[in-house]
Amino acid sequence: MPQVHITVGDEGCQTANRLRAIAIVVDALRASATIATLLGCGVGEVWVVAEVDDAWQLKRQMADALLVGERGSVKVDGFDFSNSPTEIAAAAERLRGRRVVFTSTTGAKRLLACRQAQAVLVGTTVNATAVAQVARVLAERFTAPIVIVAAGVVGRGVEWATEDIAAAWHITDRIGLPVGQAPDRPEGDLIAVFGASLHGRELLALGLDSDVRWCAQTDIVTAVPRVAAFVGKAARVVAN
């Protein structure tokens, strides 16, 4: 029977690749929630890239694409939307049927670093049950472990992010398979854990409390983002 492992940061990506696992990339604040919300709003495809320059390059190739992303938790200058699930949800009518180019400080990079995994999904609390169900089906189909990659923070000495671990456990509980490698579960309810986390406090200081509350909700989105293909520097993500 396949096992579920909860791993952290770049090491987690390497583990998913080495095991040819079903990878679930969890960047709870906010990339995973934003990507799931985009697809839940009817976006046709999300092209995920690591760098802002890569996003602009894709935009030149896809003139109709909308640009979504942030650096330092703030919308990239010239982009259509920030990495904000509440902003995306409020613009659902404008987004339906469109394609999006997306970049973020951490989550985008983690997703792209899982290129050798058997399959790559995007999940967090907002689509926990849906992503858990898809991951289990894929794990049993491919006889592969599930590696949940708690994204952490790129560019800091400590990659650990409490909210990502909490969201990873939230998904794990719904998968229903034996748990292998995993850090301890953070104590407290989701809104408390998210709000007290380092990144949560940063978002609150920027006045983004609505995003923190949105991201701490459970099962408000049924879309399960899945990488359909890695193309050059990008990943094409669609609803499973």
Per-residue confidence in pLDDT tens, the chain, 240 aa: 899 999 999 999 999 999 999 999 999 999 999 999 999 999 999 999 999 999 999 999 999 999 999 999 999 999 999 999 999 999 999 999 999 999 999 999 999 999 999 999 999 999 999 999 999 999 999 999 999 999 998 766 556 899 999 999 999 999 999 999 999 999 999 999 999 999 999 999 999 999 999 999 999 999 999 999 999 999 999 998
> Alpha helix locations (H) across the chain?
9-18, 31-40, 52-61, 85-90, 92-95, 107-112, 128-142, 162-175, 190-196, 198-205, 209-215
Q: Is the pTM of this model over 0.95?
A: yes
DSSP run (H or E) holding 236: strand 234-239
What structural domains and CATH numbers belong to the chain? 4-228 (3.90.1560.10)
